[in-house]
Amino acid sequence: MIKQQNFDQRYILNLSCPDQMGIVADVASFLAQQGCNILESAQFDDELSGQFFMRTVFGTDESTPNKMNLEASFGPISKRFSMKWQLHDQRNKPRVLIMVSKPGHCLNDLLYRVSIGALDMDVVGIISNHPDQQSRAKFYGVPYHYLPITAKTKINQEAKVLNIIESTNTELIVLARYMQILTAETCQKLDGRIINIHHSFLPGFKGAKPYHQAYTKGVKLIGATAHYVTPNLDEGPIIDQETTRVTHAQTPEELERVGRDLENLVLARAVRYHVEQRVLIHQDRTVVFY
C-alpha cells in the first residue's frame, strides 16, 4: 500500500524569462535540494516571442526552509535566467475588493461562490456609485462603501477608492459591472490588479442597450470577456471568454438574460484563475495555466 505524503505547506512558483536550455531542470533541482516536492507543473514556450513561462506547485514539510529563505536561495537562479518570478504562499487568501454599479448579477455570483468555498479569497469590501447593492452586501457581511460620482467629483471619488484599496491591503480589484471608466492614472497605479467583465459585442455595439442593438442586427453569437484593465478602454490582456448561440426568435430581454449568465461564468473563472496564480501577463497577452 502506498502511503500518501502530507505537506505542511504548499507554494506556487510563477516565472517567465527568455527561453533557453536548462530552466526546468534547474528549477526542479533547486526544489529537490530544498526538500520540496513538486505536486503540479506546467510550462509554455512561446516561440513567437522567445519567452518561457512556468507555474509550479510544490509541497514542503517541517524540514524545508521558510518562504523568505526559499526566495533568497532562488535568487541566483532567477538572475542566471533573467527571470521575472513570484513565490506565493497558498495559505494566504488574496484580499479582493469588488466594485459595482446598479446591476448586481456578477456581484451576487461572486459573493455566493466565496460563501461556499468555490472561490478561495477574502472579500474586504464593496465599492459602488449607487446604493442599490447595500442589502446584498449586508446579507454576506461585507463592508459597503457608497461613493457617488459625477463628472466634477470623479477625481476625488477615485482618490477615496485608492484610499480604501490601501487601507484594506487590497491585492485584486474586480469590476463586477462597474459602469464607470477609471482614469488612466488609476489604471496605471493598479496595473495587473484590476479585472473587468463586459459583453463581447465590443467594439460593435457600444453605449446603452447593447442587446437591443444586437437584436436589431440579427446577431447569432453573444459572449462575455474578462480582461485586465489598462488605460486603453476594454483593450487589456484577456483572461477568459465564452460565447453561446442565439436565434432570431429570442427577444432583447432574453438575449440579455443569456448575456448575464455568461458574464457570471466568465468573470468567476477569470477571478479564480487570478487568485490561484494561474495567469501570467506578457505585454498585451496572458498565459493562463488551466
Evaluate whether 240 touches 264 at the Cβ level (below 8 Å). Answer: no
33: exposed, middle or buried (Cβ count in 10 Å: 0-12, 13-18, 19+): exposed
Residues 6+ apart with CB under 8 A from 108: 136
What is the C-alpha separation between 283 and 95, in angstroms, rounded? 25
132 catalytic? Reply is no
Q: Quick check: 251 and 215 in contact, CB under 8 A? A: yes
Catalytic one among 109, 234, 240, 261?
234
CB 170 within 8 A of CB 142: no
Buried b / exposed e along 147-181 (16+ C-beta atoms within 10 A): bebeeeeeeebbeebeebbeebebbbbbbbbbeee
Active site residues: 234
